């Protein structure tokens, strides 16, 4: 009975928010430090955070627009040059956030053994920190995408203001998986290699290089089980074409993402007491 009551208290969404909010100043400082450490020692420093996605977008524009002359919608003969690259880049932005956090999650506790052994430290905030760092990178990529849209498409739809609603389930479901994988990575060291492989597979099983409508109908329902399908599709619809997302589908995935976040947090909090024995 005590275990059930403790699980209820730990899994209470308000309690989780209060716990993380209590460490908000520390989390903010750690995010800034974590983001800066990526480019520490380089001549250009954090400018690389802008150059990397910018160069990537330029490469996509050259390869798909100049070399392959690809069109997102083949029926649109007069589509502006570079449109395919913008559509592709827009799909990659939420995927990059998802893959960056989950790619780092399995090793985050292993790479910080001092926090486990020598210091009384709220380990659960480490996953919030790497999510915050990934979110900063995502905002930089989004800014570059907006500039590219102004240059190539000459417009930005008003529905871009609704993007936070798409980021919300993305952040929650990513954070939930990250808490789970961070704990699992302490006990099963191979999990990092497995996740790396799964992320590569998800890159092609998500509608990033293609539209979900281009997939045969019998496979569309399978792809829709992938949370990135809803997120990537609606991300594009809002920022590129000014189309409102289906509220019902979004609400279902929001509830699922909240449940995943709570489960991941619970799993991490219940298992972290055994980290010191393994490390």
What is the average pLDDT score of the chain?
88
Asked if the structure places residue 219 within a domain, the reply is yes
Asked if the structure places residue 165 within a domain, the reply is yes
pLDDT surpassing 70 at residue 149: yes
Asked if the structure places residue 4 within a domain, the reply is no
SS (H, E, C) 28-91: HHHHHHHHHHCCCCCCCHHHHHHHHHHHHHHHHHHHHHHHCCCCCCCCCCCCCCCHHHHHHHHH
Start-to-end CA span in the chain (Å): 31
Asked if the structure places residue 76 within a domain, the reply is yes
- For residues 119 and 164, which has the higher predicted lDDT (pLDDT)? 164
Asked if the structure places residue 149 within a domain, the reply is yes
User: What is this structure's pTM?
Assistant: 0.92
pLDDT category at 177 given cuts 50, 70, 90 is very high
Residue with tokens 């800066």, as numbered in its chain: 36
Contact 7, 266 (CB under 8 A): yes
Tokens, residue 20: 């993380």
pLDDT category at 69 given cuts 50, 70, 90 is confident
Mean pLDDT of 79-90: 84
Report the domain count for the chain.
Answer: 1
Local structure of residue 213 (DSSP, 8 states): G
Write down the pLDDT at residue 4: 47
C-alpha to C-alpha distance for 161 and 172, rounded to whole angstroms: 19
Asked if the structure places residue 46 within a domain, the reply is yes
Write down the pLDDT at residue 9: 55
Contact 135, 164 (CB under 8 A): no
Residue with tokens 């939420």, as numbered in its chain: 94
pLDDT surpassing 90 at residue 12: no
Contact 97, 170 (CB under 8 A): yes
Domain range enclosing 147: 11-272
Cβ-in-10-Å burial (0-12, 13-18, 19+) of 279 comes to: middle
Residue with tokens 């007491």, as numbered in its chain: 273
Write down the pLDDT at residue 96: 95
Asked if the structure places residue 59 within a domain, the reply is yes
C-alpha to C-alpha distance for 182 and 112, rounded to whole angstroms: 12
Contact 141, 91 (CB under 8 A): no
pLDDT in tens, 90-105: 999 999 999 999 999 9
Tokens, residue 61: 């524009």
Local structure of residue 190 (DSSP, 8 states): T
pLDDT in tens, 239-263: 999 999 999 999 999 999 999 999 9
Share of the chain above pLDDT 90, in %: 60
Asked if the structure places residue 176 within a domain, the reply is yes
Write down the pLDDT at residue 6: 55
């Amino acid at each position: 009975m005590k275990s059930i009551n403790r699980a209820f208290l730990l899994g209470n969404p308000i309690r989780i928010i209060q716990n993380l909010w209590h460490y908000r100043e520390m989390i903010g400082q750690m995010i800034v430090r974590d983001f800066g450490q990526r480019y520490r020692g380089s001549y250009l420093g954090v400018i690389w955070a802008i150059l990397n996605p910018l160069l990537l977008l330029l490469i996509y524009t050259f390869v798909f627009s100049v070399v392959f002359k690809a069109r997102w919608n083949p029926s649109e003969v007069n589509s502006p040059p570079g449109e395919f690259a913008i559509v592709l880049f827009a799909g990659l932005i939420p995927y990059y956030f998802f893959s960056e956090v989950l790619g780092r999650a399995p090793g985050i506790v292993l790479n910080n053994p001092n926090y486990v052994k020598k210091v009384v430290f709220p380990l659960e905030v480490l996953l919030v920190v790497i999510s915050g760092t990934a979110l900063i990178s995502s905002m930089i990529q989004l800014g570059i995408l907006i500039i590219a849209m102004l240059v190539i498409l000459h417009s930005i739809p008003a529905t871009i203001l609704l993007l936070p609603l798409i980021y919300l389930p993305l952040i929650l479901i990513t954070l939930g998986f990250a808490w789970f994988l961070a704990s699992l990575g302490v006990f099963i060291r191979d999990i990092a290699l497995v996740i790396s492989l799964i992320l590569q597979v998800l890159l092609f099983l998500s509608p990033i290089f293609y539209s979900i409508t281009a997939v045969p109908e019998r496979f569309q329902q399978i792809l829709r089980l992938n949370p990135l399908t809803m997120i990537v599709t609606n991300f594009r619809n809002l920022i590129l074409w000014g189309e409102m997302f289906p509220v019902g589908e979004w609400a279902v995935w929001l509830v699922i993402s909240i449940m995943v976040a709570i489960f991941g947090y619970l799993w991490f909090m219940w298992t972290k007491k055994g980290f010191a024995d393994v490390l």
